[in-house]
Every structure is written in structure tokens, then in C-alpha cells.
């Protein structure tokens, strides 16, 4: 459970040069260095490297603050936030009320709508292990057919036809999926569902819908499983897939490789989910965009928190740390260490305003 032993929570709206910051709290309280105590969060494993960068940078001016982030997966993170085990959560998919998550979060937050802001934007790389093949071009229908078990060998005509000159073996394709309730799986199956031209048989879901096959827990487990088996194919945060073959996906008439820049461009042309509140920045990602250079197989990983906390010191810590994460400084720290794409200016400004208003009840 969360341990709190916090003192003084001074805050200002000034940047490092002492001038007022417009719409960006840039963790003013963090810059003041007058916070102390412990704060617990957890969730999406995709955020793990970025969270390490954020904690280190935040801690450089807040030596008396101990922040933990447990990369247990998005589903477990949302559950632990709703049970009050975490003060904040990271999630690769937004709260969904089909399973009562949004209602549970509202109850956890004293009847108020929870905050959801994007904080970590990254491409989901479709990765494979075929000796002698480093990259492939595939359209969404072919990718969906592979993961749905309709295409079963690497030299299938649907693959060969998009990759002239590639030396493709007759090796059996072995799809790997996440074993945990995963926001990466939610985003990946959303892409297969919306862009796969009917080749994918299932609705988007954080739990892999096909029984059987090889399963791996967390991002690191997925990467290890694909590396460990010849003929495997899987999906994982692009920043953590070094050493594996990667698929370039068809966007319009071009094939686009996974990149932070491409993911950011796809998110920028997407819209917020209809019917959500002003403090909820859940994004309806355009998986079928034809925008040049956009990479639509992406995850926008969120921070989930309450607008108000009963304990004023807990509120100050959540405000300060989350404000740092969505600040320009925090976004750059994640880009440098985790390879993510900084939020574009408009999205960043909206997120900064929302988390900067976190306070005590």
C-alpha cells in the first residue's frame, strides 16, 4: 500500500529562469525541491524505461522523494489504482466502462471523473525472427491474417508478393502474444480490427482472444520469446526491440517503418474519444490513416490519477511528478532514454493544464 510521510509542498508557476510558465507547470514544485515522502504507481510495462528516466530527473531536485513504479502491465495497474494501492497508474489503453473500469475509477476518486492524459507515445513494432531476413513490408490484412492463423508459413504468397527478392523460408510462422492483460495488446488488436480488412476475427481487447499458441508476460517477456524461437513473430514497444527483424506497414501507397516520429504523427491526426470529460484525453487513434510518414501501429500510454486527493501532501506529490512527466523537460528525458516521441505542443499543453490542477479535496 502507499506509504506517505510528506512535508512542505510549496509550488510556483515559474520556469527555471524565474518567469511565469504558460500552461506548463513543469513540476514547479519539483523545481522547488521542498517535497518529501513516498509515492507509489505502476502499470504499463512499456513505460518502464521512461519512468526510470522521469524518476531520476525528478529526483535530481527532490532527493527526499521516493517514487516507485511497478511495471506489472496496464490491466494490473488500473486495478491497483482503483483499489488505492497506487496513487497513479500507467496504462497503454484508456479506462473502458465496458468492464466497469471507468465507474470503478470514478468511485476511487470520490465520485469525480478520473484524469487520463497521454504521457508516453511509442510505435508498436511488429517483430520477427527469421534468419537472414532483417525487414519485411506487410499490409494490415496480411499482418492480421498471420496473427489470426490464416497465413502459416513465411514463404506464403501474400508475404512474398510484398517483398520481392526476399529469401523467405518455408518455416512455420509462430505468433507470440502477451499472456497478461496488456494495453499493448489492446492497441495492437485495435489496429488488426480496424485496418485488417476483415482478416482479424475479434474485437480489440487487452487480453489476447485466441486460445493456445506461445504467450509471454510483459514487454521484456515478449521480446525474449521472439528472440528465442526461429520463425516467431510478435509485437512490442519499438524502443525495446533491438536485434529483431521489423515489419514496415502499408500506409497509403507507402510502407512505413516503426518510429517514434511516425507514431507521434499518427496520434496528432487522431481525435479525442467522443463523450469523455474535459479531464479525460482518451484518444481514438486513426488506424487507417494515409498521412505520409504516419505509423498507425502505436500506443499512447496514459497517466491515470484523481483530480483531488484526501491527503494534501499526496495531492502535491502526484501534481508535481505528473506535471514533470508531461512537461517539455520530462518528455525530452523520456525521448532520450526510452526512444519515445514527445507529445506535440497542443496535446502537451492540454495535459499540462489538467495535471497541474490536481489538488487536495
SS3 annotation, the chain? CCCCCCECCCCCCECCCCCECCCCCCCHHHHHCCCEEEEEEEECHHHHHHHHHHHHHHHCCCCCEEEEEECCCHHHHHHHHHCCCCCEEEECCCCCHHHCHHHHHHHHCCCCCCEEEEEEEEEEEEEECECCECEEEECHHHHHHHHCCCCCECCCHHHHCCCCCCCCCCCECEEEEECCCCHHHHHHHHHHHHHCCCCCCCCCCCCCCCCCCEEECHHHHHHHHHHHCCCEEEEEEHHHCCCCEEEEEEECCEEECCCHHHHHHHHHCCEECCCCCCCECCEECCCCCCCCCCCCCEEEEEEEECCEECCHHHHHHHHHHHHHHHCHHHHHHHHHHHCCECCCHHHHHHHHHHHCCCEEC
- pLDDT at position 33 is 57
Cβ atoms within 10 A of the Cβ of 254, count? 13
Q: Which of 205, 223, 191, 281 is nearest to 48 (CA)?
A: 223
- pLDDT at position 53 is 97
- pLDDT at position 239 is 84
- pLDDT at position 28 is 40
pLDDT tens for 82-117 read 999 999 999 988 998 877 899 999 999 999 999 999
Low-confidence ranges of the chain (pLDDT < 70): 1-33
**Which domains does the chain carry?**
28-121+270-283+301-360 (3.40.190.10), 124-264 (3.40.190.10)
Amino acid at each position: 500500500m502507499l506509504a506517505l510521510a510528506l512535508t512542505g509542498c510549496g509550488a510556483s508557476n515559474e520556469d527555471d529562469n524565474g518567469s511565469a510558465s504558460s500552461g506548463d507547470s513543469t513540476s514547479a514544485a519539483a523545481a522547488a525541491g521542498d517535497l518529501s515522502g513516498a509515492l507509489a504507481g505502476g502499470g504499463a510495462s512499456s513505460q518502464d524505461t521512461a519512468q526510470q528516466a522521469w524518476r531520476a530527473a525528478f529526483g535530481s531536485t527532490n532527493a527526499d522523494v521516493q517514487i516507485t513504479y511497478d511495471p506489472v502491465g496496464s490491466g494490473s495497474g488500473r486495478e491497483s489504482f482503483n483499489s488505492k494501492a497506487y496513487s497513479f497508474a500507467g496504462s497503454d489503453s484508456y479506462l473502458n466502462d465496458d468492464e466497469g473500469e471507468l465507474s470503478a475509477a470514478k468511485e476511487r476518486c470520490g465520485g469525480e471523473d478520473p484524469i487520463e492524459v497521454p504521457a508516453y507515445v511509442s510505435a508498436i513494432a511488429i517483430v520477427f525472427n527469421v534468419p537472414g531476413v532483417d525487414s519485411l513490408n506487410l499490409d494490415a490484412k496480411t499482418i492480421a491474417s498471420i496473427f489470426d492463423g490464416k497465413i502459416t508459413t513465411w514463404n506464403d504468397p501474400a508475404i512474398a508478393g510484398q517483398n520481392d527478392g526476399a529469401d523467405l523460408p518455408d518455416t512455420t510462422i509462430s505468433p507470440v502474444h502477451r499472456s497478461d492483460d496488456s494495453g499493448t495488446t489492446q492497441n495492437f488488436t485495435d489496429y488488426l480490427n480496424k485496418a485488417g480488412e476483415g482478416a482479424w476475427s475479434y474485437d480489440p481487447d487487452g487480453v489476447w482472444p485466441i486460445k493456445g499458441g506461445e504467450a509471454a508476460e510483459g514487454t521484456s517477456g515478449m521480446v525474449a520469446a521472439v528472440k528465442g524461437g526461429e520463425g516467431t513473430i510478435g509485437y512490442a514497444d519499438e524502443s525495446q526491440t533491438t536485434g529483431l527483424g521489423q515489419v514496415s506497414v502499408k500506409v497509403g501507397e507507402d510502407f512505413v517503418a516503426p518510429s517514434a516520429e511516425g507514431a507521434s504523427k499518427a496520434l496528432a491526426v487522431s481525435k479525442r474519444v467522443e463523450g469523455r470529460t474535459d479531464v479525460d484525453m482518451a484518444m481514438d487513434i486513426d488506424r487507417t490513416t494515409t498521412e505520409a510518414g504516419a505509423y498507425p501501429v502505436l500506443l499512447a500510454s496514459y497517466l491515470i490519477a484523481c483530480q483531488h486527493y484526501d491527503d494534501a501532501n499526496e495531492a502535491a506529490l502526484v501534481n508535481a511528478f505528473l506535471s514533470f512527466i508531461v512537461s517539455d523537460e520530462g518528455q525530452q528525458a523520456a525521448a532520450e532514454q526510452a526512444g519515445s516521441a514527445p507529445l506535440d505542443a497542443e496535446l502537451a499543453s492540454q495535459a499540462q493544464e489538467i495535471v497541474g490542477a490536481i489538488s487536495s479535496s
